């Protein structure tokens, strides 16, 4: 535990910032779900025919995997806080809608008849009788939604929205339990705090006559109690307004001379993203917004293509085969680069810069004892025994055309007993614990050395070259051509060994990607 407390002390500022983002996004999502869910609950309590479609939609949203819903949001709303808040809001609807309808339906008919008998209109009955009496049931649904929303909002970091999920997923990628706990523990405490806060709000908004507490008989004391209750209501209303306005303003982009840099979620990409950001800041007068540690390369590219972000460090093979869907058989590194550069310009108005030097291609790796047991040196050797082994590729590799499907077409007969996709460092943990036998690695992964794995030779030359290079929106370069000049300073500089060493410092020594990136650039005289 000492290591955990040391980590928290060293990163307290970042943790507090991420916690603040998490609180704000969660609160806005829950508040919007209340503003939508309560009226829907009122409607279906009055018009029964609406119950089936409204509750059906809410049930479907609950049943859909949250990651799938987030994936649907990205093409419609892009990346950042908006799709994350909308996703959580949709998941929070069901308890609020159902509890609102249930609470209203639970009010006796006699109570409603008495209200009409004294001359109250239907609107007055709703706001003065039904909603106050149903509040305990409604707030129970709100509290359930609020607690669930805290956990769901950890997915926000997957699309660059921030929050405590950044610490959790970064820790998973780097097998850093201290980092995981630094995100998970505050998230757990926040869920408990949200439940307590909404319990307090429930007491604040419930009329004092319905609280069940003993009320004073003295009129002056009763009047004083009512004034205090009204002040509490105003405080609650003001706090909710601040959260809503703050959440709205946080998503508004302020004008200025800036450029945004993105990266995928694994350490190498975060190192390269920080390098790009540092070079731009050092050699231009632009301010850089770092949107690092996002989801896979497809999400980063989508944000770049849609103009939401400006700079990404891509890889030849990913762009050539996965994005452009070009044939891979017999392609040379130079042809892959030339075709990618031209087609990115023609189809997406994106500039592809010079390669930065190293080649982080795919590789199949096995435990040393597995290689010795079966005499494995090449991927072709693996064919004879693959049906007895379990493969753990990345999720991207399992599905993309230059991944497992293409590999099996070139290496005919390469069929595994099981294919269990995993991302990040989890693959290395799994093979070390004998939960799988073969993993898809990257040639610059430092953990190949850490876990003493044997990389099988790609004897049929299937894997494409994966040289890293900057990709920039041409609209940005038209206004700021100095961005390309800054990024070109790393052309051909980084060797395979350099990248392995930098990855090792992050993955095994627990160093921050931004520190490793800055030190490397300084060592090359580029800062």
**The pLDDT of residue 227 is above 70:** no
CATH of the domain at 501: 3.40.190.10
Q: Are residues 171 and 212 in the same domain?
A: yes
User: CB neighbours (10 Å) of residue 351?
Assistant: 22
Q: In terms of pLDDT, which residue wins out, 209 or 408? A: 408
β-pair type (311-315, 468-473):
antiparallel
Do residues 197 and 319 both lie within one domain?
A: no
**Based on the domain organization, do 87 and 154 belong to the same domain?**
yes
**Where is the domain boundary, 250, 283, 309?**
250
End-of-domain residue from the set 250, 279, 308: 250
Do residues 58 and 92 both lie within one domain? yes
The pLDDT, as a whole number, for residue 11 is: 82
Across 467-471, average pLDDT:
95
For residues 459 and 283, what is the distance between their CA atoms, to the nearest angstrom?
43
**Tokens 């099996």 belong to residue:** 408
Q: How far is CA 24 from CA 81, 150, 179, in A?
A: 10, 10, 22
In a domain, 185, yes or no: yes
Instruction: Pick the closest to residue 30 from 243, 337, 299, 313 (CA basis).
Output: 243
What's the half-sphere exposure (Cβ side, CA atoms, 13 Å) at 435? 12
Q: How confident is the model at residue 494 (pLDDT cuts 50, 70, 90)?
A: very high
Percent residues over pLDDT 70 in the chain: 89
CA dist list (Å): 146 to 70, 151, 152, 194: 18, 9, 10, 6
pLDDT bucket at 246, cuts 50 / 70 / 90? low
- Contact (CB, 8 A) for 155 and 187: no
Name the strands in the sheet holding 311-315, side by side, starting at the edge strand that comes first in the sequence: 287-291, 258-262, 311-315, 468-473, 350-352
Residue 211 in this model has a pLDDT that exceeds 50: yes
Q: Indicate if the pLDDT at residue 439 is higher than 90.
A: yes
Q: Are residues 329 and 197 in the same domain?
A: no
**Are 421 and 335 in a shared domain?**
no
* pLDDT at 461 exceeding the cut of 80: yes
Q: Does residue 370 sit in the same domain as residue 351?
A: no
User: Residue 314's closest CA among 352, 278, 348, 281?
Assistant: 352
pLDDT at 106: 86
pLDDT at 254: 47
Domain assignment present for 103: yes
Q: Considering the domain boundaries, does residue 126 fall inside one?
A: yes
Q: What is the mean pLDDT of residues 159-182?
A: 80
Residue 464 lies in a domain: no
Do 310 and 236 lie in a common domain? no
Strand partners, 454: 366
- Closest CA relative to residue 246, chosen from 13, 27, 19: 27
Task: Give the domain range for residue 485.
Answer: 258-359+472-523
Is the pLDDT confidence value at 253 over 60? no
Instruction: Pick 284 or 81 by higher pLDDT.
Output: 284
Lowest-confidence range among 22-31, 148-157, 199-208, 470-479? 199-208
Higher pLDDT, 170 or 149: 149
- Examine the domain organization and report whether 344 and 368 are in the same domain: no
| Crossing angle of helices 12-46 and 81-105, rounded to 10° | 40
- Is the pLDDT confidence value at 315 over 60? yes
Structure tokens at 343: 């087609």
Q: What is the pLDDT of residues 345-370, one digit of tens each?
A: 999 999 999 999 999 988 999 999 99
- Domain end (from 209, 229, 250): 250
Contact criterion met (CB below 8 Å) for 447 and 507: yes
Rounded average pLDDT over 200-219: 63
* CATH number for the domain that contains residue 89: 1.10.3720.10
Q: What is the mean pLDDT of residues 56-83?
A: 79
Same domain, residue pair 244 and 280: no
Residues 332 and 314 in one domain: yes
Residue 272 covered by a domain: yes
Average pLDDT for the chain = 85
- d(CA 434, CA 442) in angstroms, rounded, equals 20
Task: Classify residue 461: in a domain, yes or no.
Answer: no
Measured in whole angstroms, the distance separating CA 112 from the mean position of its chain's CA atoms is: 48
User: From the centroid of its chain, how far is CA 400?
Assistant: 21
Residues 152, 41 share a domain: yes
Domain count, the chain: 3
49 in a structural domain: yes
Q: Is residue 421 part of a domain?
A: yes
At 103-125, the pLDDT tens digits run 888 888 888 888 888 888 888 88
Q: What tokens appear for 368 in the block?
A: 């040393």
């Amino acid at each position: 535990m000492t290591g955990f407390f040391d980590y928290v002390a060293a990163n307290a500022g970042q943790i507090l910032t991420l916690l603040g983002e998490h609180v704000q996004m969660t609160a806005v999502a829950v508040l919007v779900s209340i503003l939508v869910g309560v009226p829907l609950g009122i409607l279906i309590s009055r018009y029964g025919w609406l119950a089936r479609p409204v509750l059906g939609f809410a049930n479907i949203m609950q049943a859909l995997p949250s990651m799938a819903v987030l994936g649907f949001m990205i093409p419609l709303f892009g990346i950042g806080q908006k799709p994350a808040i909308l996703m959580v809001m949709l998941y929070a609807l069901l308890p609020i809608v159902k509890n609102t309808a249930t609470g209203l339906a639970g009010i006796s008919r006699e109570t409603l008849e008495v209200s009409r008998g004294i001359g109250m209109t239907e609107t007055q009955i709703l706001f003065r009788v039904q909603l106050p009496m149903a509040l305990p049931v409604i707030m129970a649904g709100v509290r359930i939604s609020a607690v669930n929303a805290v956990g769901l909002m950890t997915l926000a970091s997957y699309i660059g929205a921030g929050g405590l999920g950044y610490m959790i997923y970064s820790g998973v990628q780097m097998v850093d339990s201290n980092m995981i706990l630094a995100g998970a523990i505050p998230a757990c405490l926040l869920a408990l705090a949200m439940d307590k806060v909404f319990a307090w709000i429930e007491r604040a908004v419930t009329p004092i006559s319905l609280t069940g507490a003993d009320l004073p008989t003295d009129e002056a004391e009763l009047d004083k109690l009512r004034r205090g209750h009204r002040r509490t209501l105003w405080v609650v209303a003001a706090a909710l307004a601040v959260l809503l306005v703050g959440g709205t303003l946080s998503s508004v982009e302020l004008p200025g001379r800036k450029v945004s840099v993105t990266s995928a979620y694994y350490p190498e990409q975060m190192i390269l993203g920080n390098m790009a950001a540092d070079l731009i800041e050092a050699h231009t007068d632009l301010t850089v917004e770092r949107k690092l540690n996002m989801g896979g390369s497809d999400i980063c590219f989508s944000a770049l293509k849609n103009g939401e972000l400006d700079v990404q460090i891509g890889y030849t093979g990913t762009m050539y085969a996965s994005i452009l869907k070009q044939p891979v058989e017999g392609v040379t590194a130079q042809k892959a680069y030339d075709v990618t550069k031209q087609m990115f310009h023609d189809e997406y108005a994106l500039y592809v810069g010079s390669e930065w030097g190293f080649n982080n291609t795919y590789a199949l790796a096995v435990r040393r004892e597995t290689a010795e047991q079966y005499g494995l040196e090449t991927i072709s050797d693996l064919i004879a025994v693959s049906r007895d082994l379990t493969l753990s590729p990345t999720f991207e590799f399992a599905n993309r055309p230059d991944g497992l499907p293409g590999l099996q077409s070139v290496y005919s007969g390469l069929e595994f007993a099981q294919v269990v996709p995993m991302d990040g460092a989890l693959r290395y943990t799994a093979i070390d614990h004998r939960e799988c036998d073969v993993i898809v690695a990257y040639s610059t992964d430092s953990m190949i050395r850490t876990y003493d794995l044997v990389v099988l030779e790609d004897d049929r030359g299937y894997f494409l070259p994966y040289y890293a290079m900057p990709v920039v929106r041409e609209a940005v370069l038209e206004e700021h051509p100095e961005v390309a000049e800054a990024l070109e300073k790393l052309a051909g500089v980084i060797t395979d060994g350099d990248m392995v060493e930098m990855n090792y410092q992050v993955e095994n020594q627990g160093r921050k990607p931004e520190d490793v990136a800055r030190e490397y650039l300084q060592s090359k005289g580029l800062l």
